[in-house]
Amino acid sequence: MTIKNTLSRAIIGASLLTAGLTPANASAVVAAGQSASGTTTMTVTMPEYIVLRYYSSIALNFTASSSTTGGASEAMSIKWTVDEGDTTLAANIADPTELGVSPRKIKLQNVWAIAGLSPSGTATVKIEGTDLTKQNGNEQSTIGVTDWTVASGKTTGEEITTNLRGIAGGVTKGDVNMTMDFAKTSMSGDHKGSFTITVQTI
């Protein structure tokens, strides 16, 4: 009776082993003094994403002093204000009366930044902008704005391709360039418009 029970247990144990108590897709039988090895392919999938940092509002404040006819006048300067404080830029205007003579180029430095991952390690950055206007009843004063471009390093254009620096690589910063025309600017005070920066992984 004892021998029969022992044989039954052995047969049942062998059947269970054969039925799948070992991994279905891998097997290695090792005899004494021998070895076996197996290679596992591992895949880590990283997400595709992009983060855009930008200022929700920027104030450009031109300053100039009044003067009598024929008297000396101070140079005009421009100051733009963001969340982190004020920065004064040269507006290239020697005299306030020169405002409407010719368009003026303006550069806003480090006003956007991107980070992320993409299949190619790069992304496109595109800008669109409007004129700046002030309405007073039926009258309108306009600062014309053209030549909107973005710049990163030595690359400048209405749409550029720039590097994403990965998870640990930090951010890619960039500038916004524009040309302002004051030929139809007839009022003092706030002239409002906007620009939109669009980024896309590629």
Q: How far is CA 151 from the centre of its chain?
A: 12
- The pLDDT of residue 23 is 54
**Is 58 in contact with 82 (CB distance < 8 Å)?**
yes
Q: Tabulate helix, strand, coil % of the chain (nearest 5).
A: 10, 45, 45
- The pLDDT of residue 196 is 97
pTM to 2 decimals?
0.71
Dump the DSSP string for 97-162: GGTTTS-EEEEEEEEEEEEEE-SSSEEEEEEEE--EEEEETTEEEEEEEEEEEEEETTEEESEEEE
Per-residue pLDDT, averaged over 124-152, amounts to 96
